[in-house]
Each structure stands twice: as C-alpha cells, then as structure tokens.
Amino acid sequence: MTVVRVETPPRGYDVLIGPVEAGIERVAGLGGRAVMVSEPRVFALHGDRLATALGTAPILLPEGEAAKDWATLHRLMEQLAERNVGRDTPIVALGGGAVGDVAGLAAALFKRGCPIVHIPTTLLSQADSAIGGKTAIDAFGEKNLIGAFHQPALVIVDPALLDTLDPRQLRSGYAEVVKYGLIDDPAFFAWCEAEGRGVLAGHCDLRNHAIETAIRAKARIVAADVEDRNGQRALLNLGHSFGHAIESEAGIGALLHGEAVALGMALAFRLSAELGHCPATDAARVVSHLGTMGLPTQLGEVGLSGRGGRLIEWMARDKKNASGQLVLVLAHGVGRAFVDRSVDRARLAAYLDR
C-alpha cells in the first residue's frame, strides 16, 4: 500500500493507493458505523463486498452527471436524516466524480460537517477529483456552481477497480492525468507521450505510475492553496474555463468532463501560441497527443463550431473571474502553465469561432 499525505489545515489526510479491502480497515477508526453512497452500476460491480465489510446498506444516486442537482442532494440528506447519521459518521462515496461531488457536498452540509471517505472508481476521480476537497452540484445550466470545500478524512484509490471501466471513461480520465504534465512537469508529459497507450490498455505498472504521479502533483498544489485563493490552485483548471463552457453549451452531461477538459487544453495551448506566449511546436505537440489518445481537440468534433460568442457568455460566469475580467490558464510551453487576466473578450470570441 502506497500512502500519499495531503497537508490541508487544520488537519491533513492520507490517500491510500492499493487494494481497497486493506484501506477499508481504516474507515472503522474514523467514528460511527459508516454510510455508503454509490450509484447502481458501480454498486453492482464493486459494492456488495464493501458494504458487507462496512456493515451498511447503500444509498444509491442516479448515474453520472444526472446526480448533481438540487433534488438528488435533498434526497440524499433526507436519507442521512432518516438514518440518524451523526457528525462522527463516515460517509463513504463509492463511485466516480459525480458521486464524490454530491456525497462530499452532503457531508459538508449535514449537521455542519460529517467525515467523507472517497473510494473513486474512475480514472478521472482516482487521479484528480477525489483529492482536494472540492464538492459541488450543477445548477442553472452551469457546471459546479453550488458547492463547498470539504476535505476528505481518507481517500482509498484501488487501480484494479478501473478494470471494469469502459474505454470512453478511461480516455476521459486520461485527460486529467496528462494535465499534470502540462501544468508544471514536462518530463511527465513526455512519459505520457511514450506510455499513454499502455495506461489506457490497462498495463498495471503504467496505470499505477500515472495515478500516483497525478495524486502527488495534486497534493502538492492543493497544499499550497487549499481554498483556491492565491492563484496556485488555479493552475489545476488548465483547460477548465473552456471545458466548463463547452459542457454548458453542449448541455450538461452530453460530453464527459474529461472530454471537455481535453478540448479545453487544446484550445488553451493553441490560443497561447496565437498570443505569442507558447511555441507553436509545443501547442502542436499537445494537440497531437490528445488526438492520438482519442480525445477531442476541435470544437467541430463536438458540434460547437461557430459558437464563440455563446462560449464567451458561459466563460464570463466562471468562478475564477475577478472584477469582470476573464481569468484563463494558458501556457508558456509544455509544463509551463500560468494564469492570464489580459485576454480581450472580442479577440477570444473570434478565436473560438475560427
């Protein structure tokens, strides 16, 4: 079992990478009898043995992005109340990013805070969303608009759970893995170029290395900016200002999150090159790799050609924006992401239309 420590005041937490059964033993030490939150497909694949080990019956949410709404959050907290969940009761989220987001937000709100334990079952959630304490639901057509910071008490990452994941979900998760190379680790991006196909093909050592590298990178960045206030953590949003707008314009749930992020990263690197921040060869390299891995790199691929003005409207609502100015994460090159507050909206809309 590999342990990665995430230092977030007032207390940190461990991310355990290894067999889920070994990690489950740690849950009992967190407080009262745990409550499991999952969704039907994931629970059918992995839930019975874990629910038995925890001595709990599951609360099941709708699958995917459909879970991230007010009604589902309300029903979940209603069931927590019916079970008389206490403030020391661990809420165990078994599933992908959507389950983690909703269960985490419910844990943050219910009785002003219950422990949340994440057992992520997708590549995206194992490498990224289960770490860092961001919780949210979608609202008013916008992605992750309502949420709270609520750091987990424990995260258990078992790469073997990915063996049942379909290829599209794996590709989507890979976008959040390769992102860490593009932010500040060019050597890891080069490794992804060489080994990415093996990660998606299920090579255990390669997959484990990719996940652990992403977790360590996120732990480092989150510890430096826990509540996303000083600009360090904003770098984790590489591709996301574009990506969230793409998800909203396409209709929440029409694209997988990682697909939108991959397209967003391609747009960010092309724009960086156009603005003279980034060598065109670096932008071409990024776009080529994402495309090779089966991820979208052009707005036309997702039916959004000529929607620059509409995308700008969505981007104007992004949480990172300040004083009415768009805040984008762009790049000086591979592994050299930075926060930019100077991009003109009209120029950006024209760029997106092209």
Residues 24 and 97 in one domain: yes
> What tens digit of pLDDT does each residue of 198-241 get?
999 999 999 999 999 999 999 999 999 888 777 788 999 999 99
Our count of domains for the chain comes to 2
pLDDT of residue 256: 96
Residues 174 and 155 in one domain: no
Residues 142 and 186 in one domain: no
Give the residue from 164, 198, 221 where a domain finishes: 164
Cα 149 from chain centroid?
14
Tokens of residue 308, six digits: 């620059």
Residues 158 and 36 in one domain: yes
pLDDT of residue 228: 77
pLDDT of residue 108: 98
Residues 297 and 193 in one domain: yes
Q: Which residues neighbour 12 within 8 Å (Cβ) at sequence distance 6 or greater?
A: 5, 6
pLDDT of residue 28: 81
Give the residue from 126, 141, 164 where a domain finishes: 164
Instruction: Name residue, tokens 């396409």.
Output: 250
Residues 247 and 268 in one domain: yes
Residues 159 and 207 in one domain: no
Tokens of residue 4, six digits: 């990665």
pLDDT of residue 20: 95
pLDDT of residue 323: 76
Residues 149 and 183 in one domain: no
Give the residue from 125, 141, 164 where a domain finishes: 164
Residues 31 and 116 in one domain: yes
Q: Can you give the CATH number for the domain in which 185 is found?
A: 1.20.1090.10
pLDDT of residue 146: 96
Rounded to the nearest 10 degrees, the angle between the axes of helix 280-292 and helix 167-184 is 160
Q: In this structure, how many other beta carbons lie within 10 angstroms of the beta carbon of residue 172?
A: 26
Q: What is the chain's pLDDT, residue by residue, as a tens digit (354 residues)?
A: 999 999 998 889 999 999 999 899 899 888 778 999 999 999 999 999 999 999 999 999 999 999 999 999 999 999 999 999 999 999 999 999 999 999 999 999 999 999 999 999 999 999 999 999 999 999 998 999 999 999 999 999 999 999 999 999 999 999 999 999 999 999 999 999 999 999 999 999 999 999 999 999 999 999 998 887 777 889 999 999 999 999 999 999 999 999 999 999 999 999 999 999 999 999 999 999 999 999 999 999 999 999 999 999 999 998 888 877 899 999 999 999 999 999 999 999 999 998
Q: In what order do the strands lie in the sheet containing 154-157?
A: 2-6, 13-17, 154-157, 116-120, 91-95, 35-38, 58-60
Residues 150 and 177 in one domain: no
Residues 48 and 191 in one domain: no
- Residue range of the domain that includes 216: 167-353
Residues 182 and 274 in one domain: yes
Q: Can you give the CATH number for the domain in which 7 is found?
A: 3.40.50.1970
Helices (H), 202-325: 204-224, 240-250, 257-274, 280-292, 308-315
In the 3-class helix/strand/coil scheme, how is 15-40 assigned residue by residue? EEECCHHHHHHHHHHHCCCCEEEECH
pLDDT of residue 210: 98
Which uninterrupted H or E stretch holds 143?
Answer: strand 142-149
